[in-house]
Chains A and B, each alone.
Chain A
Amino acid sequence: MANAFDSTLLFMQSLHHKGHSLYEIQVIRELSGLILTRGPKLCNFVDWRGLRVVYKRYASLYFCMCIDQDDNELEILEIIHHYVEVLDRYFGSVCELDLIYNFHKAYFILDELLLAGELQESSKKTVARLVAGQDSLVETAKEQASAISNIIAHATKKVMNPLAIAF
């Protein structure tokens, strides 16, 4: 994922090429240069270092995936769109800021969608359900933690400052 104005926002697992991590800033700069300069009415595919990059622009955000030259380009293009739809459903009309401030969420969702560079789940409903499940696990853990600290705080307060209760 790259931003048309800032240099880079996210370049994630989508840049795994057949499981080789391409997460290098150099790579990202090179690719941004290649893709961001392309006009709006061109096709969504670019050759790059013997590989092929499939990209799609959503407002100011670019989503890219790197594939082999004999992979099915359109299929990949729709994986990107599928991801964006899932993000949209999760954030409720997703915008760039959502992704910037919740980049970890974007990772969680991507991990439910793609693995080893291959599509893992094509049902948006299932992905949403799984991510919601993870969220609630985190919530529960947090509640438990705060419950415990409340009890502790309570207990301490009682001991340390009995007057406080009177208020």
Chain B
Amino acid sequence: MHGMRGLSVFISDIRNCQNKEQERLRIDKELGNVRNRFKNEKGLTPYEKKKYVWKMLYIFMLGYDVDFGHMEAVSLISAPKYPEKQVGYIVTSCLLNENHDFLRLAINTVRNDIIGRNETFQCLALTMVGNIGGREFAESLAPDVQKLLLSSSCRPLVRKKAALCLLRLYRKNPDVVNVDGWADRMAQLLDERDLGVLTSSMSLLVALVSNNHEAYWSCLPKCVKILDRLARNQDVPQEYTYYGIPSPWLQVKTMRALQYFPTIEDPYTRRTLFEVLQRILMGTDVVKNVNKNNASHAVLFEALALVMHLDAEKEMMSQCVALLGKFIAVREPNIRYLGLENMTRMLMVTDVQDIIKRHQAQIITSLKDPDVSIRRRALDLLYGMCDVTNAKDIVEELLQYLSSADFTMREELSLKAAILAEKFAPDLSWYVDVILQLIDKAGDFISDDIWFRVVQFVTNNDDLQPYAAAKVKEYIDKPAVHETMVKVSAYILGEYSHLLARRPGCSPKEIFSILHEKLPTVSTTTIPILLSAYAKILMHTQPPDQELQSQIWAIFNKYESCIDAEIQQRAVEYLALCQKGAALTDILAEMPKFPERKSSLIKRAEYSEADTAEQSAIKLRAQQQTSNALVVTDQIPANGATSPVSVGQLSLVKVPSLVTTENDTSTDRALSQQNGASSKVDPQPPSADLLSDILGPLAIEGPPGATVQSEHNAVSGLEGDSDAVDGSAIVVVEEQTNTVQPIGNIDERFRALCLKDSGVLYEDPYIQIGIKAEWRGHHGRLVLFLGNKNTAPLISVQAIILPPAQLKVELSLVPDTIPPRAQVQCPLEVVNLRPSRDVAVLDFSYKFGTNMVNVKLRLPAVLNKFLQPIQVSAEEFFPQWRSLSGPPLKLQEVVRGVRPMPLPEMANLLSSFHIMICPGLDPNPNNLVASTTFYSESTRAMLCLVRIETDPADRTQLRMTLSSGDPTLTFELKEFIKEQLISIPTAPRSPAPSAAPPTAQPSPQIPPNDPAAILAGLLS
């Protein structure tokens, strides 16, 4: 081993240091030394330079800042000899990150190494780019890296690095594979014999298909073939087996890639795959050797995931659950962990829920596992498998576990328990019990949302009020109570303790004194709630109790000069109100019911579900990525509810001034609404107003600006339309409409579908609408695929087609409900009556929870779908062209504002609309002649001829002549082509034509000095 003596000595020195201080001194000395040597670089030999750079890296690894010498490291990259170059590349990848300016300096050298002939240099360069390459590298190097990957003359050692390097560049900039025919080349790569190259290529494929599987269908059978070959251990070199298992990694990667394809249609491929999977499921035994065991189970778990994804027949699924059931009870902790995790993933396949429930006892045991990682998985699973039938058991378990749980888990645990209690409560009193227990046991970990929510429930359910009041009284009677309990008790007792007045120990006076006992123990944020409670108690005391009154007034008096503005204000206001006598009763009347709205807790949970349990589900990967963009204020990190985030969440809502005022006045509004006085505007900062905080969590539910309206006018949000989806966000809390953001651009999806016959029409976090179409003459058959992406059903599903006059559209029945994770197919028959460019619109709506989503989507049943390309010879063309001599059957127009494009591109564009170029008919190379057949009921099959004359000197204008046997068709087709040619969407359209009636379309009037006229003159 070629040592480097100076480096070894230095490392020894460091290791011999007795303490941190000594180490720091030694390092400072060395850094000083290195810095000096670098200053007079001239005297440095390559060997020395290398040595110092290594020392820097070592120091950096020890955790010290190394803020110089980067240049020296980078400069080694351009050294001519391998040893220096190697060091330069490696140290640069460690010290610099992708955004470092110096990296830019190296791009050229790196590129030269990549395109050079020296394969060891190529490897070094690819390794560095693969590890730290950023966007700039992606832009300048991607084509070269692609070439290496595909090159037949490159050896595997270069190509496998090229594959992974390209993967890195693709992550930085997905456009790097935006090359014609890349998918075919990817498929060819899967024929690779070298397993190293194949493994790397498979990683690349996984990344590609995870973003867009559509282009890579041809890879699917090849993946199955590879998997089959590996599983049978056919033709796998010895060195690629790992503990007797043919490359477990490649097997895992291949199965991963397969999970991104929605289905496997080809029966042969499907059968082969299922045979392989079956063999893996049945043939994996537990063995003694840890590594063999791990490797074979890595394959097994991936196979399980693939089976789940393919939604195999029930038998195979229950086989999977049985296996998992076995796993969660084994001793080996890794397998136990993965068993739990995969069960949670499996829950997405809803019909295994019952089989999983059989393992409930074992899962609950895992909640007490010595390993916190396993406990977390058990919690996730319990949370996921909870429903009405087992909610009581599971929540009880969670409550019990709460007192012994790790601090890091308590908040998540209590949040989950609260959500389950709310979601599946058999009766509301149980729900109240659970929440109060939660507050009692883990008050510190109870976020405000939880107690806000219980207050909402109590307020809205008259039957619940006396029960809740009695219950909180029990808790607050105890000597040491958590402050949150004081808050919730004060609120509920203030509002409803009068309902208990006849019970022993519940007279207003007694309630007051119980509450007042707590006052010295609470913080300033709780005092205002207590003051409100006093005021309410006083009001409810009938007949008035002079003693109580003077006691309470004395308290108000005392706080009138409190330094805390919020407390002071309450005290002043309540005192003033009390002196108004009868008005007090009106003003302090019971709080109005809260509008029914979706629990912010549940929304939080849905979010975190998407991030934890469901994220793992391969199917949902895409959704998970975009769910971050749902509603800003709903953002919660993966592991749920850490308090700093909750705070941030509240403040997010409160920052906008509009909302602030609304929130602040909420108490006053509650007061003033009753007697009709106009609401006062409270100048306080929002966080101080505690009662209004009760509205706080509700405000979280909608984007900030929206909450305001919803407070007062419970505007029904049913009428939201697709515009709202695009971001104008008219959100009404009660029936939240279109807070849901679509995934991807609806317009782009539509435009893409105008050119192809299948694809996604619309997608949001809940639903995906796919479309598949077949066109025959003037008939079209479309199938809408409505896919529910959730584990909860989508309800009130409605699809209405708003057809334009020229289309007859029949949509088969759309079911009202789409079951969880199901896809519903709705066939749609279209008949084209006559030519028109109008577009059919699908008015689609559904409800998810209380979220009402309504979108209006253009259907790609557009004019060009009824065109069929036809090749016309000169003998057919010219007689026809001449016979249609002028308007309205033949129209000519000079089009300006054309998107400049080369002629072949224009030809491609036309053929993409099924308008076929007839080469050779026009002798002028700047002109295009094309033909197509249009089908409709009124015109039947009708030949259309097109001639486009371009001016090479000015590509922004052209003259277009259209002819057909039908005046409307001629006009509509001309307008259609024009729309495609002019620069969309903002470019100025050429004036008039679309407004003019189709048949009376005159030739455009062009002033004689207009360049277009000159062009026209030249052409004619």
Contact = CB atoms under 8 A, between A and B. Distances in A.
Nearest to B341: A73
Interface string A143-154: 001000000000
A124 B239 CA distance: 7
Interface residues of A, number: 66
Given A115-B130, A115-B165, A118-B167, A12 B2 contact: no
A158 to B, nearest CB: 23
Nearest to A104: B54
Contact of B615 (A69, A103, A105): A69
B165 A77 contact: no
A110 to B, nearest CB: 10
Contact of A119 (B47, B161, B199): B199
Q: Is the interface of B mostly helix, strand, loop or mixed?
A: helix
Nearest to A16: B131
Given A25-B63, A70-B618, A115-B130, A120 B240 contact: no
Contacts of B928: none
Given A115-B165, A116-B131, A123-B196, A42 B242 contact: no
Contacts of B195: 122-123
A126 to B, nearest CB: 6
B563 interface: no
Interface string A95-112: 000001111110110010
A75 B239 contact: no
A47 B249 contact: no
A25 B65 CA distance: 9
Given A118-B200, A126-B196, A72 B252 contact: yes
Contacts of A105: 1
A121 B291 CA distance: 18
A60 interface: no
Interface stretch (B368-376, B472-480, B565-573): B368-376
Contacts, number: 191
A74 B239 contact: no
Contacts of B611: 50
A133 B250 CA distance: 25
Contacts of A119: 199, 203, 249
B373 A42 contact: yes
Interface in A27-73: 28-29, 38-39, 41-47, 50, 69-70, 72-73
A76 B618 CA distance: 18
B132 A21 contact: yes
B8 A101 contact: yes
B61 interface: yes
A122 B240 contact: yes
A125 B94 CA distance: 26
Contacts of A18: 171
Contacts of B791: none
Given A18-B171, A19-B168, A42-B333, A7 B63 contact: yes
A83 interface: no
B612 interface: yes
B298 A100 contact: no
Nearest to A125: B239
A73 B248 contact: no
B301 A141 contact: no
A124 B291 CA distance: 15
B639 A50 contact: yes
B231 to A, nearest CB: 16
B294 A104 contact: no
Given A72-B256, A77-B294, A119-B203, A8 B615 contact: no
Interface string B114-143: 000000100000110011100000000000
Interface in B332-358: 333-334, 336-338
Nearest to B240: A123
Contacts of B509: none
Contact of B120 (A81, A118, A122, A134): A134
Contacts of B15: 100
Contact of B239 (A8, A12, A16, A126): A126
A78 interface: yes
B131 A138 contact: no
Interface string B301-329: 11000000000000000000000000000
Interface stretch (B78-86, B650-658, B953-961): B78-86
Contacts of B302: 72, 75
Given A7-B63, A137-B83, A47 B131 contact: no
Contacts of A42: 333, 370-371, 373-374
B616 interface: yes
Nearest to B252: A75
Contacts of A29: 63
A74 B298 contact: yes
Nearest to A42: B371
A43 B2 CA distance: 39
A50 B256 CA distance: 21
A96 to B, nearest CB: 11
A142 interface: yes
A120 B637 CA distance: 32
B160 interface: yes
Interface in B65-111: 81-83, 86-87, 90, 93-94, 97-98
Contacts of B160: 120-121
A122 B199 contact: yes
A28 B90 contact: no
B242 A9 contact: no
Most chain B beta carbons < 10 A, residue from A46, A47, A82, A105: A47
A10 interface: yes
A142 B83 contact: yes
Contacts of A77: 294, 298, 334
B481 to A, nearest CB: 33
A19 B171 contact: yes
B790 interface: no
A125 B194 CA distance: 14
A47 B613 CA distance: 13
Nearest to A51: B638
B62 interface: yes
Contacts of B297: 74
B868 interface: no
Contacts of B948: none
A69 to B, nearest CB: 6
Nearest to B206: A118
Interface string B749-787: 000000000000000000000000000000000000000
A141 B228 CA distance: 46
B639 to A, nearest CB: 7
Given A43-B373, A43-B374, A74-B338, 4 more contacts: A10-B61, A38-B371, A72-B298, A72-B302
12 contacts: A12-B94, A13-B131, A39-B370, A42-B374, A43-B337, A44-B333, A70-B618, A77-B298, A78-B291, A118-B167, A137-B120, A139-B2
Interface of A: 7-13, 16, 18-19, 21, 23, 25, 28-29, 38-39, 41-47, 50, 69-70, 72-75, 77-79, 81-82, 100-105, 107-108, 111, 115-116, 118-126, 130, 133-135, 137-139, 141-142, 145
The 9 closest A-B pairs by CB, nearest first: A74-B298, A43-B333, A50-B638, A25-B63, A115-B164, A116-B168, A70-B616, A118-B203, A42-B371
